[in-house]
Structure 1
């Protein structure tokens, strides 16, 4: 007979007579396991990216149509028309009303949505893989035959005015609008949300005209990711969307001006009990040399929960629930954003600590341990973001708009592993020096103004 075995707990297994068993070091992630992307440009000028990503019997879709305002100056009327177009695009076609569109999609477990910003119109959705032909049929019907029925359009206009009114009462919206103006002046990218008055003045005919002149396949990109055969999917797109044509090129947004360093702007919000701190400076594009080192420097400063800035203003001082720094990519460039919300009575103190941490990035460069923790986070978060079909589809659409392929993703871990502490120190010195920044502080100027002015660098 064999000797009876005794059950050991996980804690017992993890220990030896000498103490806890040491964990083995994490190995380097050399490559992101990603599928191949099949790409084809159709005769209409529409670029199609199809990816076989099994796992769940679904397909994710992202259609990006460049949709910039004409000219180099923000146009409030255009922004209002574009916002209403995106809200009403799925309300009816020559063959289906709103309910008919919803029923067609629901029958194959699918949904579609439309969003717009100063750069592009985005039609996004997902559905059962076997229902992809139906989704493409609905998409083609909307792209080529959206009628924007007047009763529906007027209802959407009323709802949109109400939503804008609610949004403009939020302090984060006020801070975002002030920051964009500070960054980019009167460039179209600065106007992300129209006024309610501008939307209320939009005529239905203007929306239909904007669709006819602006929703163009040439220069647009359609991404499909899921349980599909890429070649068959592209052939289906070519057949179903063959009627979506147009001689004009979809209008790309021109590069905004480079954000200039300078004093912070104090934006008065009477009666506010909180302040919004928003600092910003020029940053690096994904494809620029040194981006990996810059990314790690940003993580050490404020890019994740264990960052220096978060440890200071949340864990140590208790000034805020959250503080974050990150990169926004704009045509031709990028900007670094540093943001947190704090109580009015600690606004000046929080700004002082923020400037201190920026200066510490220059004077006390990130240590090897800080860099390694940031590196592991960067690689791990990348893998998590690409684990789903939707995450991969959105990332591919964003990269393609920036002129990058899936190979950029595959090589990310290698580039991050190759970064040295010296390179991170150089990035910190170049991109996090306090004098490079400008920004806004939104709050009750009568309460926070005296201390901010005494602190200096705020006007």
Structure 2
């Protein structure tokens, strides 16, 4: 008989096999990476462009250009693009991040000859119609107006600005920035950024020879380079751990965001810091959740994360708590950080975290597309697949003493920028 009062024994993950991306270079220098796997007749084709030529006087230029790519070409209107993609059961989306902008197509292989030329038109022949730009500006200003009433949005906005200043990473967007957008700005950025020299293609799923041949046909020599480009490069410096309060007298909850500029994936300490972060606030069983949600009842959720970007990384802790317990919540966060710096993590807790992290990584590799996502993480960080071998080794072997040393190295309470949006902080009885 099974004794159901006893938890099952841990079965730690020993090794994780990744489908490695195979490189192909087309005649015009375009870099293509193929991750082949799975039985379903489906592929995801991502065209990823480095963000370039950031101009603080035109802060929304890269974002607006990417967002409006599928709003019309010389031959197709926005509705015609959408109708053609829908007709073939495909899906086309654009995405913008701090370092890259992308255009992604999900399509059945049998329809690629019909859907992929639309993508080619979008990334080489977009015209940014004025009527669509006017709609974009109107919608974005309305969205910003609504978001500015949300404490958590304001706290993120202030946090990014405090850490990263007047750069693409931290620009404090205002409604008037949208009013300054013009078609000429978008067309100028489009012609510079959306060219083969600045593009990486990642195809994943059931990758056929026919699909690769079609990519070569559409995006190879027939797609010409323009002017040379230089990716954005930013330098960031540690702040002084200041307190930033935005008082909202009628707030029932206060949004808290604490953090600092930190290391990114290319740093040797990054995997160990990820283990430390998971213990502190990186999963539902973390210390911050156990204390501030489960024990104190101050919040529905609290978490921490270590984020890697090209030019920097950053660490943050975020939550929304009852306005009347905001000071107490900050005190408890401080306490949990100090415990990690002064007391070694128990082997039992560390084993739980090891299994959670390795299990999450293994569980997240469900198809070729998720393997491609792992490839993008290392490729755009200038790393190789040995990063994951080192990551797995670190998670499996890092010691409590090493974690304590990392806590003292990276978790400096006085160095954390402290943003609170809500009621003004005051001592609680």
Does 2:275 align with 1:301?
no
Corresponding position of 2:401: 422
Q: CA deviation at 1:21?
A: 7.6
Corresponding position of 1:64: 48
Q: CA deviation at 1:270?
A: 4.3
CA distance in 1, matches of 2:46, 2:73: 21
Contact 1:59 1:227 in 2 (8 A): yes
SS at match of 1:79: coil
Does 2:122 align with 1:142?
yes
CA distance in 2, matches of 1:298, 1:52: 33
**Structure 2 alignment gaps of length 5 or more:** none
Contact 1:184 1:259 in 2 (8 A): no
Does 2:285 align with 1:285?
no
Q: 2:77 aligns with which of 97, 101, 111?
A: 97
**Structure 1 alignment gaps of length 5 or more:** 1-12, 455-459
SS at match of 1:135: helix
Corresponding position of 2:361: 382
Corresponding position of 1:4: none
SS at match of 2:427: helix
Structure 2 CA distance for partners of 1:169 and 1:236, relative to 1, 3 Å: same
Corresponding position of 1:3: none
Corresponding position of 1:330: 309
Larger Rg: 1
Q: CA deviation at 1:128?
A: 1.5
Does 2:8 align with 1:23?
yes
Q: CA deviation at 1:69?
A: 4.2
Contact 2:58 2:181 in 1 (8 A): no
Q: 2:107 aligns with which of 96, 111, 127?
A: 127
* Alignment RMSD (CA, Å): 2.4
SS at match of 1:59: strand
Structure 2 CA distance for partners of 1:23 and 1:394, relative to 1, 3 Å: closer
CA distance in 1, matches of 2:227, 2:427: 54
- Structure 2 length-normalised TM: 0.92
SS at match of 2:317: strand
Q: CA deviation at 1:368?
A: 1.1
- Structure 1 length-normalised TM: 0.86
Corresponding position of 1:451: 427
Q: CA deviation at 1:402?
A: 0.9
Structure 2 CA distance for partners of 1:209 and 1:292, relative to 1, 3 Å: closer
Contact 2:38 2:367 in 1 (8 A): no
Q: CA deviation at 1:246?
A: 2.0
Q: CA deviation at 1:329?
A: 1.3
Aligned residues: 428
Deviations 1:93-120 (A, max 9, x none): 1222222212322233211111223422
Q: CA deviation at 1:211?
A: 1.0
Deviations 1:10-56 (A, max 9, x none): xxx524xxx86873441x32322222311123343322111112143
Corresponding position of 2:376: 397
Structure 2 CA distance for partners of 1:250 and 1:31, relative to 1, 3 Å: farther
Q: CA deviation at 1:348?
A: 0.4
Contact 1:80 1:195 in 2 (8 A): no
Corresponding position of 1:14: 2
Corresponding position of 1:6: none
Corresponding position of 1:174: 154
Contact 1:60 1:389 in 2 (8 A): no
Q: CA deviation at 1:333?
A: 3.0
How does 1:239-388 map onto structure 2 within 5 Å?
239-242=217-220, 243-388=222-367
Corresponding position of 2:181: 202
**Please, which moves more after superposition, 261-270 or 274-283?**
261-270
